Amino acid sequence: MMYKLAETSSWVLLTTTRYSQLYKTPNNRCVKVTAVVGLNKPYNSKKELEILKKLSSSNENMNNCIHLFTEQSGIEKGNVILVMPYISKSLLNYLYEFWKDKQGKRKFNPYLLLNNDNTNTNTTTDNKNNENLQEFKNTISTDLALDIIKQLANGLNFIHSNGIIHRDVNLSNVLVEQISIGDKVTIKYIDFGISYDVNEENKDEPADNKVTDVSTSKYKAPELLFSVKNYDYKIDVWSLMVIISQISRVVATNENLSSCIIPSFIDDGTEISPITGKFLSQGSDISLIMSIFSELGMPKLQDWPSVKKYGSLAFEGMFGSEGDGKYIFEGNGDDYSLLDRLKKFFPLFEHHEKLLLISFLPMLHLEPTKRSSSAELLETLNLHT
């Protein structure tokens, strides 16, 4: 029987987002309520319902994708009602628990620094006279990290094999299910509100003219940053690569680590207070572009045909067409080797050279036609882990 809005008086409101309200029911369900009208493109609550029904009815293994209770979900009084299992922890929350100070005695809590008595030996002073800068270490094991990465690849491959581009893969849109402490964790992708079904006709958003204002902050694929509108599943693979980089961080400070941010090797310039952990400034696409080029190098325009043929003129106008000679796939980058660069990007796996070269490196292609697919990623992970 479908859930009714009249029942909300017995539900607990968990959070309110831009377009939706999320509730927890007495029988441990999560209910997402979203209006049908009044949503800015590409948000589409009716399509989210259709996509989740499609994924939930698949005969394939969908252990790494949220399940929709289809008989309890539907449309009522101009609202889409999605009924799913209640899972309290996001991958962001889960990974954050592994960050400890040097003594491993406590997790990072920015608010403790408000009462800092300057006796903490982990407190340093940087060139900006920041007396509250602290260093923290990621204590996750490589085995657990690899298991999570493989589940992420498996879930994304399942989504893609059903013709869906998620378009907002990030740490907050993945849930972690764990029955009790010490049990194996299970990864679940959620939030298909801006997802795209390549097998369905979409007059409002044709395949060669998709919305490029998708994905979140530093998870945006480079082709999106240069307005390539005929993008495909590979934007999700790039976003997953950023997540893998976040899982792979080994050391961070409270200047770039907070309960809402885990650093990766690229960033969009978002700043947080090392004292309170609150946002000081939001990032930007241009900062993200510069960060990507700084770390991976800038390709020649002829080696980036997707941008050359289908993107905006901004790339050549801003950066020229000859590249900077440091692009990671040109083979003549900086003074350090390719492996050294990969170890910098994914330091947790510095002793897993085959994994770095065979699984992670192909995800770094700026040209999406050369970037690995989720199926290719999953195949290499199964072979080398």
- Residue ranges covered by each domain of the chain: 1-86, 93-145+216-384
CB atoms within 10 A of CB 139: 12
Q: What pLDDT score does 271 carry?
A: 82
Stretch 77-101: mean pLDDT, rounded?
A: 94
- Please state, rounded to an integer, the average pLDDT across all residues of the chain: 88
What does the pLDDT read at residue 371?
A: 98
pLDDT band with cut points at 50, 70 and 90 for residue 166: very high
Q: Give the CATH number of domain 93-145+216-384.
A: 1.10.510
Is 311 exposed, middle or buried, given 0-12, 13-18 or 19+ CB atoms closer than 10 A? buried
**Tokens describing residue 142:** 């490589």
Per-residue confidence band for 116, with pLDDT thresholds at 50, 70 and 90: very low
Residue 57 has pLDDT above 90, yes or no: no
State which amino acid sits at residue 292: I
Give the span between the Cα atoms of 4 and 275, in whole angstroms. Answer: 44
224: which residues sit within 8 A by CB, 6+ positions away? 212, 214, 215, 231, 235
Position 126 scores a pLDDT of 40
Q: Is the pLDDT of residue 81 over 70?
A: yes
Sign of the torsion angle spanned by Cα atoms 281, 285, 291, 292 = positive
pLDDT of 107 strictly over 60: no
Q: What is the pLDDT, as a whole number, of residue 69?
A: 93
CB 298 within 8 A of CB 319: yes
Would you state the pLDDT for residue 179? 75
**Tokens at 212, concatenated:** 């490029």
State the CB neighbour count (10 A cutoff) for residue 215: 22
Domain 1-86: what homologous superfamily?
Answer: Phosphorylase Kinase; domain 1 (3.30.200.20)
What is the structure's pLDDT at 277? 63
Tokens of 118: 């300057």
Cα–Cα distance list, 143 to 150, 184, 280, 332 (Å): 11, 12, 35, 33
